[in-house]
A and B are shown apart, each in its own frame.
Chain A
Amino acid sequence: MEILTGLLHGFAVAFEPSNLLWCFVGVFLGTVVGILPGLGPPATIAMLLPLTFSMNPAGAIIMLAGIYYGAKYGGSTTSILMNVPGESASVVTCIDGYQMAKKGRAGAALGIAAIASFVAGTVGVLGLMLVAPPLAKFALSFSSPEYFALMSLGLALVVLLAGRSIVKALLAALVGLWIASVGTDLFSTTSRFTFGRMELLSGIDFVVVAIGVFALGEVFSNMETREDATLIPMPKGIRNLLPTWQDMKDSRFAFLNGSVVGFLVGTLPGGGSTIASFLSYGLEKAVSRRKDQFGTGVIEGVAAPEGANNSETGGALVPLLTLGIPGSGTTAILLAALVLWGFKPGPLFIPEHPDLFWGLVASMYIGNVMLLVLNLPLVPLFAQVLRTPVYMLYPLILGVSMVGVYSASGSMFDLTLLMVFGLLGYLMRKLDYPAAPLILGLALGSGMERALRQSLMMSQGSLSILVSRPISAVMLALALLVLMIPLFGKFNAWRLRALEA
């Protein structure tokens, strides 16, 4: 009842014409920065922050949140069309999304990304509205041992991301873990693998590696093919530009999976949308009946991570609004914004500022509808990018990648790194090493190392802390189970052969 009156009140706030306008401005800007690789929501929000000082706080938070979740919609666009991840949360989308585009199904992939984003984004807001306070309490029971177990579960997914060879996948994951260890060690302030370069002191940016390995690797390996300018097949007719009914049916579970995984990981202060998208992709593949086709362009492989990274937004607002604890870069700057407007974000924020909280919740329902209406018609338009002849498309990808990386950090050194990782991506392709495990290792490496060291410091060096806490024990057991999946497959194949003989 309380929720209903709150929500009605929220809609009254959100439907005020000026707030509707700010909501639209936010989601529109969000879509744009999402599409542009490099420039992410934290940078955009920080740049707009000074403008919000003269706005009414409800309108301002509605707009800034709009940028945050709007960017998750746009992020998939370049992932699918060019293999260039638009945001770190859209890296996983490259895996199947780009393959779909190569098969002429770019429209379906873009469409399902928008629909999954809408479904999961809405579920995320529902979660924020219904279970925020109790869930925040639960999230607090997560600490280093649990994070270590969660990351182990994530890393175990490597066996699912492997191509033909598990060994090559493990090697690639190890390289990813190594890259993650570059930089200043938080615990001892020792420089690791910096080779005397101060640019490496704070580590290697995840997005630089992802763009290098995925996008530039693709460009370089296409440079050597001497075929004449072949076009990536373009679907004919408007009907083929959007997901079919069959696609929607195939993505049913992915919608649910993405929504739930994304939201739950989002509520953890040490989670993040990159981990959420990897986990939901892994889960999707683990339970799929067509596991072997993942990585070749299956629609669930796009729907699950795109759903997860949208639902994560709702989740990430839970600790921010109920406890005043930011879990990610974007929520940290939203927190700074609230303080600058004169609020005190913390456990009493929601009861003391119901206008702001419910207005924001209501605006997120409206914003998600706006985003769907905004993004679906753009799908056929964006799909036209692929009409570009290959001899122009690849230089275009190269350009977009470089501008994206430079706009994020303004550092020439990062451009050099981009080239290095592009070459690495090319070599890996030539030698048939899968790229996804490397990215996974990189995404999880530093968090996992940190969580393990924190756990051991908590327990004065005893490893038992990892299994004596129930949540962590369960997740570690799940990780073991995932690691055994290929063994089951092998066992099955062997059994079938034995039966046949």
Chain B
Amino acid sequence: MMVRYAVFVLAAALAAPAGALAQAYKPSRTVELVVHTGPGGGSDVLGRALSVMAEREKLLPVRMVVVNKPGGNSAVAAAYLSEKRGDPNTLGLFTGVWLQTPLVSPEAKVTLKDLTPIARLVLEPAVIAVKADAPYKTLAEFIAAAKKNPGALKQSGGSNTSRDNVVRQLLQKSTGARWVFISFPGGGERIAALIGGHVDIMVIEPEEAGEHIRAGNMRVLAQISEHRLPGYPNVPTLKEAGFDVPVVPQVRGMVAPPGIPKVNVAYWEDFCRRLTRTPSWQKYIADNQFEDGYQNAADLTAFYEEFTGRMRDILKDAGVKILR
């Protein structure tokens, strides 16, 4: 794995002194940044924050505006980008949903592979939380309880292809325990179900959980990340807690329409790299307890291949019909 990454990095470094190539192309008019959520959704907020940062840090000669193409669980936005073949002034912000939707929905025909990868920007870790007065002090205790009473404990989360369910599937497979996964469309409802005592466990973003922990409503059993997050120095990672399952990150990154010249890719890759080094970006990442997930286009393609392969297996195990 690491070797392959290293080869890619090396290849990229040898092939293109990024600075020199970036001079060859510059966006000529306002850049459209396509997001798959309506105003206020995760990608939308990131997109708007990103365009403000680009302006504040003077990273672009033109303005960047967010264009909402909601619908089809990202299929509409992906199709819109694919129709913009060769357009140098359009970009998109992708998330894990863009990878998963084409796997399970026959209508979603455009995969990330059909678009031009630019860079990965963010990795969003997560934590596993229970209500503060729950009897489980560790994840092992929860798993033991779930084993004793199969199907009685409940987890609140998003759709069955969401990271929440993937983590559950991985844990169930490696331990043999079984508990119920209940889908809620909104993050607010998921948290309300947990702290209202209607479900027993959930996967939650570290930033969101932080305030509920401080107020004494929630307790965190483990964190879904490779290393301990700065906000959770005393909580074990999954591996440290004794569960050797792959860490499933929530990814966000940038793609471009298909048929884009190499110089444009290099320009935007460089833009993302410069962006992720600005103080505004570092602060944004720290405030939200995200991980800096910068990866260039080549690495992103490799990541995509590996991630999609893994998702296929996990979703198949979860009983989801895989189409592609």
Is B242 part of the contact surface with A, judged by Cβ < 8 Å?
Answer: no
Stretch of B15-23, B68-76, B167-175, B261-269 lying at the A interface: B68-76
Query: A198-B76, A346-B215 given as contacts; is B40 within 8 A of A187 (CB)?
Result: no
Instruction: Select from chain A the residue with minimum beta-carbon distance to B52.
Output: A50
Q: Is B51 an interface residue (CB 8 A)?
A: yes
Q: Does residue A319 face the partner (Cβ distance < 8 Å to B)? A: yes
From known contacts A189-B159, A201-B75, A202-B73, infer whether A342 and B191 are also in contact, taking CB-CB under 8 Å. Answer: no
With A324-B208, A346-B214 as known contacts, state yes or no: A140 contacts B192, CB within 8 Å: yes
A198, B40: Cβ atoms closer than 8 Å: no
Residues in A whose Cβ lies below 8 Å from that of B292: none
B71 touches A325 (CB 8 A): no
> Which residue of chain A is the closest to B108 with respect to CB atoms?
A198
Binary per-residue interface labels of chain A (252-294) against chain B in the complex, 1 for a CB within 8 Å, 0 otherwise? 0000000000000000011000000000000000000000000
A32 within 8 A of B: no
Q: Which of A231-255 contact B (CB under 8 A)?
A: none
Contact present for B182 and A457 (CB under 8 Å): yes
Indicate which residue in A47, A142, A201 contacts B72 across the interface (CB closer than 8 Å).
A201
Across the interface, which residues of A come within 8 angstroms of B51, CB to CB?
Answer: 50
The B-contacting residues of A in range 291-337, CB under 8 angstroms, are 319, 323-327, 329-333, 336
| Residue A196, interface by CB 8 Å | yes
In the assembled complex, the Cα of A188 lies from the Cα of B105 at a distance in Å of 11
Q: Which of B21-57 contact A (CB under 8 A)?
A: 38-41, 44-45, 48-49, 51-52
Do A196 and B106 touch across chains, with their CB atoms under 8 A apart?
Answer: yes
The distance in angstroms between the C-alpha atoms of A454 and B154, with both chains bound, is: 10
A-contacting 9-mer, from B120-128, B193-201, B219-227: B193-201
Chain A 28-62: CB-based contact to B (< 8 A → 1; otherwise 0): 00000000000000110111011001000000000
CB neighbours (8 Å) of B282 from chain A are none
Residue A450 CB within 8 A of the other chain: yes
B107:A332 contact, CB within 8 angstroms: no
Known A200-B107, A332-B40, A333-B39; contact A454-B182, beta-carbon cutoff 8 A = yes
A49 touches B192 (CB 8 A): no
Complex: A485 Cα to B294 Cα, angstroms: 63
Q: How many residues of chain A have a CB within 8 Å of chain B?
A: 60
Q: Does B60 contact A (CB under 8 A)?
A: no
Which residues of B lie under 8 Å from residue A187 when comparing CB positions?
159-160, 183
B270 lies within 8 A of chain A by Cβ: no
Give which listed residue, B39, B48, B109, B186, contacts A269 with CB less than 8 A.
Answer: B186
Question: Contacts A196-B107, A409-B71 given: A329-B212 contact, CB under 8 Å?
Answer: no
Report A-chain residues with C-beta under 8 Å of the C-beta of B199: 458
Residues of the A chain whose Cβ atoms lie less than 8 Å from the Cβ of B109: 198
Closest to A268 in B: B192
Min Cβ gap A409→B in Å is: 7
The yes or no answer to A6 lying at the interface (CB within 8 A) is no
Is A122 positioned at the interface, with any CB of B under 8 Å from its CB?
A: no
Quick check: is B185 within 8 A (CB to CB) of the other chain? yes
When distances are taken between beta carbons in the complex, the residues of chain A under 8 Å from B6 are none
Would you give the shortest CB distance from B215 to chain A, in whole angstroms? Answer: 3
Complex CA distance for A43 and B188, rounded to whole angstroms? 19
Question: Does the CB pair B71–A332 fall under 8 Å?
Answer: no
Candidate in B69, B161, B195, B215 with the most chain A CB atoms within 10 angstroms? B215
The answer, yes or no, to whether A339 is at the interface (CB within 8 Å) is yes
Q: How far is the CB of A278 from chain B (nearest CB, A)?
A: 19
Interface string of A345-361 (1 = CB under 8 A from B): 11111000000000000
> Which residues of the other chain, B, contact A200 by a CB distance below 8 angstroms?
72, 107
Is B104 on the interface with A (CB-CB < 8 A)?
A: yes
- The answer to whether B196 touches A198 (Cβ under 8 A) is no
In the complex, A230 has a CB within 8 A of chain B: no
The chain A residue with its CB closest to the CB of B42 is: A336
Are B40 and A330 in contact (CB-based, < 8 A)? Answer: yes
Distance from A328 Cβ to chain B, minimum over Cβ atoms (Å): 9
Least Cβ distance of A292 to chain B in Å? 38
Tell whether, in the assembled complex, residue B161 and residue A189 are in contact, meaning their CB atoms are under 8 Å apart.
yes
* B100-114 at interface with A (beta carbon < 8 Å): 101, 104-109
Contact B214 A332, beta carbon cutoff 8 Å:
no
Q: 6 tightest A-B contacts by CB?
A: A346-B211, A333-B40, A46-B39, A347-B215, A140-B196, A201-B72
Q: Are A46 and B211 in contact (CB under 8 A)?
A: no
Interface size bucket, B side? 35 or more
Residues of the B chain whose Cβ atoms lie less than 8 Å from the Cβ of A43: 38-39, 68
Which residues does chain A contribute within 8 Å of B108, judged by CB atoms? 198, 201
With A45-B39, A187-B183, A458-B182 already in contact, the answer to whether A348 and B215 are too (CB < 8 A) is yes
Closest residue of chain A to B40 (Cβ to Cβ) is A333
Would you mind naming 7 contact pairs between A and B with Cβ atoms under 8 Å apart? Answer: A43-B68, A50-B51, A184-B159, A196-B106, A324-B212, A346-B210, A458-B199
Q: Indicate if the CB atoms of A411 and B76 lie closer than 8 Å.
A: yes
Binding site for B on A (CB under 8 A): 42-43, 45-47, 49-50, 53, 139-144, 184, 186-191, 194, 196-202, 269-270, 319, 323-327, 329-333, 336, 339-340, 342, 344-349, 409-411, 450, 454, 457-458, 460
Contact of B188 among A142, A190, A332 (CB under 8 A): A332
Q: Which B residues are CB-close (under 8 A) to A330?
A: 40
How far is A53 from B73 in the complex, measured between Cα atoms in Å? 29
B71 in contact with A189 (CB, 8 Å): no
CB distance from A26 to the nearest CB of B (A): 16
Interchain CB contact under 8 A, B107 and A191: yes
B245: interface (CB < 8 Å): no
| Contacting residues, chain B, for A186 (C-beta < 8 A) | 158-160, 183, 185
Q: With both chains docked as a complex, state the minimum distance between the C-beta of B318 and any C-beta of chain A, in angstroms.
A: 10
How far apart are the CA atoms of A426 and B168 in the complex, in Å?
49
Could you tell me the distance in whole angstroms from the C-beta of A347 to the nearest C-beta in chain B? 3
> Do A189 and B198 contact each other (CB < 8 Å), given the known contacts A184-B73, A333-B39?
no
Alpha-carbon separation in the docked complex, A388 to B244 (Å): 72
Choose one: B106, B185, B320; the contact of A191 (CB below 8 Å): B106
Residue B152 interfacial (CB < 8 Å): yes
B151 within 8 A of A: yes
Complex alpha-carbon distance, A417 and B36, angstroms = 20
When distances are taken between beta carbons in the complex, the residues of chain B under 8 Å from A141 are 196
B72 lies within 8 A of A342 (CB)? no
> Across the two chains, which residue of chain A brings its CB closest to B45?
A336
Q: Pick the contact of B44 from A46, A198, A323 — CB < 8 Å? A: A46
User: Do residues B180 and A457 form an inter-chain contact, with CB atoms below 8 A?
Assistant: yes
Give chain A nearest CB distance to B108 CB in angstroms: 6
Which chain A residues border B182 with CB–CB below 8 Å? Answer: 144, 454, 457-458
Bound together, the chains give a CA A338 to CA B101 distance in angstroms of 30
* A324–B211 CB distance below 8 A: yes
Point out the residues of chain B lying under 8 angstroms from A340, CB to CB: 45, 49
The residue on B at minimum CB distance from A189 is B104
Which of B71, B151, B161, B212 contacts A201, CB < 8 Å? B71
Kindly list 11 other residue pairs between chains A and B, CB separation below 8 angstroms, not including A200-B72, A269-B186, A454-B184: A46-B44, A189-B159, A191-B106, A196-B107, A270-B192, A326-B186, A327-B188, A347-B217, A409-B71, A454-B182, A458-B182
